[in-house]
Chains A and B, each alone.
Chain A
Amino acid sequence: GENVEQHPSTLSVQEGDSAVIKCTYSDSASNYFPWYKQELGKGPQLIIDIRSNVGEKKDQRIAVTLNKTAKHFSLHITETQPEDSAVYFCAASLQAAGNKLTFGGGTRVLVKP
């Protein structure tokens, strides 16, 4: 089955700096890669996703890149703000399998004012 590894497990950045979270996956058939943000006391919420037919996707201050050859994908947050402090999860799945996602272990991001 699929295995997703996520690094780092914790990340502390100064407000205004960039944050990068990296994930690797094992199953070369996976073709859907979402990122979820979990705020304290809440359930995870989708912030961005990418499918294997594109290499990069942006949405305001967040972007995701995908390297299918190397089987890794990354989340980039620019101009970090205190409200970006949360736990972030990457995941991978096969699109045709619906939402049987395999999640990474999570990254706790702290943005220091």
Chain B
Amino acid sequence: DADVTQTPRNRITKTGKRIMLECSQTKGHDRMYWYRQDPGLGLQLIYYSFDVKDINKGEISDGYSVSRQAQAKFSLSLESAIPNQTALYFCATSNNIMAGELFFGEGSRLTVL
């Protein structure tokens, strides 16, 4: 089983719908992240959490919200999806206070029509 699991892996939805992407991890890491990947733009940080009571905005947080339900679970929500939120979304974890390795899930591909 994967250490970082994302659900769903693929989702097609319509403009205006609420969408939740879920991430769970078995690595025991405190730090969790949500990234968005668009072709040619690399990965952009949406939100990150350093522990259960800590939530921080990344560089592109507008239109997104997150919930850290437990150490192992970090969910990303799109309250009212729009077409330019069509992208590949990755959850990642780390156990480093200083910069170190990020462990990524396999991604959730979201299409907003």
Q: Decide if A98 touches B94 in the complex (CB within 8 Å).
A: yes
The one of A4, A46, A93, A104 in contact with B101, judged by C-beta atoms closer than 8 angstroms, is A46
Min distance, Cβ A10 to any Cβ of chain B, angstroms: 10
Interface pick from A13-21, A37-45, A62-70, A74-82 = A37-45
Indicate whether A98 sits within 8 Å of B45 (C-beta atoms), given known contacts A42-B106, A43-B107, A46-B102.
Answer: no
Interface residue total, chain A, C-beta cutoff 8 A? 30
A103 within 8 A of B: yes
Q: Decide if B44 touches A103 in the complex (CB within 8 Å).
A: yes
Q: Decide if B98 touches A96 in the complex (CB within 8 Å).
A: yes
Interface residue total, chain B, C-beta cutoff 8 A? 27
With a CB–CB cut-off of 8 A, which chain A residues contact B92? 43, 99
Q: Decide if B31 touches A44 in the complex (CB within 8 Å).
A: no
Distance, CA A41 to CA B33, complexed state (A): 19
B4 within 8 A of A: yes
Indicate whether A99 sits within 8 Å of B42 (C-beta atoms), given known contacts A32-B99, A42-B106, A45-B104.
Answer: no
With a CB–CB cut-off of 8 A, which chain B residues contact A44? 43, 90, 102, 104
Beyond A34-B102, A49-B101, 13 additional contacts (C-beta under 8 Å) are: A32-B98, A32-B99, A34-B101, A43-B4, A43-B107, A44-B102, A45-B104, A99-B99, A99-B100, A99-B102, A101-B43, A103-B43, A106-B40
Q: Which residues of A contact B (CB under 8 A)?
A: 1, 4, 6, 9, 32, 34, 36, 41-46, 49, 89, 91, 93-106
Closest 3 CB pairs of A and B: A43-B104, A103-B42, A32-B99
